[in-house]
Amino acid sequence: MEIYSIIRVCNAYCCAPGLFFNSVLLTLLHHLGSKINCNIKTEAFHFVVIGGGIFGCYAALYLAGKGARVALVEKEARLFQKASIVNQARLHSGYHYPRSIATAALSDAHKARFTREHQAFVHAHFEKYYALDRYGSFTDARQFERFCAYLKIPCRLVSEHPLFNFKRLEALFATEEASFDPVLLGMYYRSRVEGHAGIRVFTQNQVRSARADGRNWLMLLQNGQELQADVVLNATYAASTAVNRIFGAADLDLTHEISEIAFVNSAEFANKGLTVMDGPFGSIMPYGKSGLLSLSSVAYTHHKISYDNLPRFDCQTASDPACKPDAPGICSTCARRPTSNAYKMIRQMGQYFSESVHFEHLFSYFTIKSKLKANHIDDGRPTEISKLRENPDFYCLFAGKINSIYEVEKMV
């Protein structure tokens, strides 16, 4: 039996739960393969992008737009299933980061371009308020006003409003912040990537092993296919460290949280948004153009935390290969996802509203939120692209705010 057939047989076994041995065998064969010049089918690309969320999809389109031949490798059956869908859909304008001027300025810098290029998926026509909690905030009303003035982002003090509870709010500001629609964005990017002649999409696939071969990377996929590329870009967010390790690159120092976004509606607060700053508070705002409000709370959104560079949680079990520390899965559809904290979030946020305002919880989405440990104090969310290996090149793109997808353009 030739090696390629052996690999296919092994791969069939690899898909079965717990057969780690076959995965090791497959990797060994990959390394042996080229030495004995066996018949492994290799496809050559200029770039292999790993991870099919918004950052990986945008990167693939950008690179293919420059004439490069690109492969996009995605672990799940469909693109856009994790953080790029499960988020609060805030088109950041800077307001959210009074303790990280760098993140605030970066959000604001990309906002105009992101809005212009995604006009059909941006909802900007709603009242958006920011408020300071009277108790326990890291920032007070004066500091928030000064911060907005420094960034030149509009913020108008509102001293009376029938929907809010001013006994609890130190100050309320009318601001200008839009919401993007993650579901529509997902549909748009999926169809653009899948329809692009210069991009080959490999879903339900992971890179099992990789090695430098002269000036190229050679990678073996889960389905037994070998890819060759001049450059590899890791855009896997929660799986950044796991993929870095496959390429012999350094870990990112990360924490990971299993996070819940609750979807609610409210007759009284429909199509409006309130974000309470700056500390363990919360936010409620339109989820794009869906008509739903997304609700999150610093205290209750994050159910479990992992301080390991890999997302390691006690809900992962050896019998479920769909979610492991080195290959995290889709939390929203996982049978072991946490019980919703939506009612706690509604009670917490309820303190900032007058008694006439009511919220009804409809459903929740869950995903892993990953953060750089370095941003623990300032709460910043930079998008960082680091070249971790050279000749052949390997980059790791760790995503911050969605409107910073353009940062990848600094790479090429």
Q: Which residues bind ligand FAD (CB under 6 A)?
A: 50-56, 73-76, 81-84, 86-90, 92, 206, 235-239, 243, 259, 261, 327, 367, 369, 399-403
Q: Where are the beta strands (DSSP E) in 90-168?
A: 90-91, 122-123, 127-133, 155-158
Q: Which residue is nearest to ligand FAD (CB)?
A: 53
**Shortest spacing between CB 282 and ligand FAD, in angstroms:** 12
For 338, the token pair is 């946490």
Nearer to ligand FAD, 33 or 52 (CB): 52
User: Minimum Å distance from CB 78 to ligand FAD?
Assistant: 8
CA 294 from centre of chain: 16
C-alpha 170 chain-centroid distance: 32
d(CA 336, CA 207): 26
* Smallest separation, CB 296 to ligand FAD (Å): 6
Question: Do residues 228 and 45 lie in contact, with contact meaning Cβ atoms separated by under 8 Å?
Answer: yes
Q: Which is nearer to ligand FAD, 46 or 96 (CB)?
A: 96
Minimum gap (Å) between residue 378 Cβ and ligand FAD: 16
Q: How far is the CB of 360 from ligand FAD (least distance, A)?
A: 21
CB nearer ligand FAD, residue 52 or residue 94: 52
- Say how far apart CA 303 and CA 312 lie, in whole Å: 13
Min. distance of Cβ 197 from ligand FAD in angstroms? Answer: 22
Q: Which is nearer to ligand FAD, 172 or 185 (CB)?
A: 185
- CA contacts within 13 A on the Cβ side of 79: 29
d(CA 405, CA 107): 11
Minimum distance of ligand FAD from residue 270's CB (angstroms)? 19
Q: Which is nearer to ligand FAD, 216 or 259 (CB)?
A: 259
DSSP secondary structure of 265-279? E-SSSTTEEEEEESS
Give me the least distance between CB of 196 and ligand FAD, in Å please.
Answer: 17
CA distance 9 to 88: 43
Closer residue to ligand FAD, CB minimum distance, 14 or 261? 261
CB nearer ligand FAD, residue 235 or residue 345? 235
Contact 74, 253 (CB under 8 A): no
Short-list 237, 245, 238, CA closest to 207: 245
Closer CB to ligand FAD, 76 or 127, in the complex:
76
Name every residue whose Cβ is closer than 8 Å to that of residue 276 and which is 6 or more positions away in sequence. 130, 131, 132, 133, 169, 282, 283, 349, 352
DSSP string, 202-221: E-S--EEEEEEETTEEEEEE
Find the shortest distance in angstroms from Cβ 55 to ligand FAD. 4
In the chain, the amino acid numbered 65 is: G
Contacts of 101-106 with CB under 8 Å at 24 or more apart are 101/147, 101/150, 101/151, 102/380, 102/382, 103/378, 103/380, 103/381, 103/382, 103/400, 103/401, 104/147, 104/151, 105/151, 106/382, 106/383, 106/400, 106/401, 106/404
Q: Which is nearer to ligand FAD, 106 or 141 (CB)?
A: 106
The Cα–Cα gap between 74 and 377 comes to 32
Nearer Cβ to ligand FAD, position 15 or 149? 15
CB count in 10 Å sphere of residue 265: 14
361, 343 in Cβ contact below 8 A? yes
Judged by beta carbon, residue 54 or residue 231, the one nearer ligand FAD is 54
Q: Shortest approach of ligand FAD to residue 160 CB, angstroms?
A: 28
Task: Supply the minimum distance, in Å, between the C-beta of residue 344 and ligand FAD.
Answer: 16
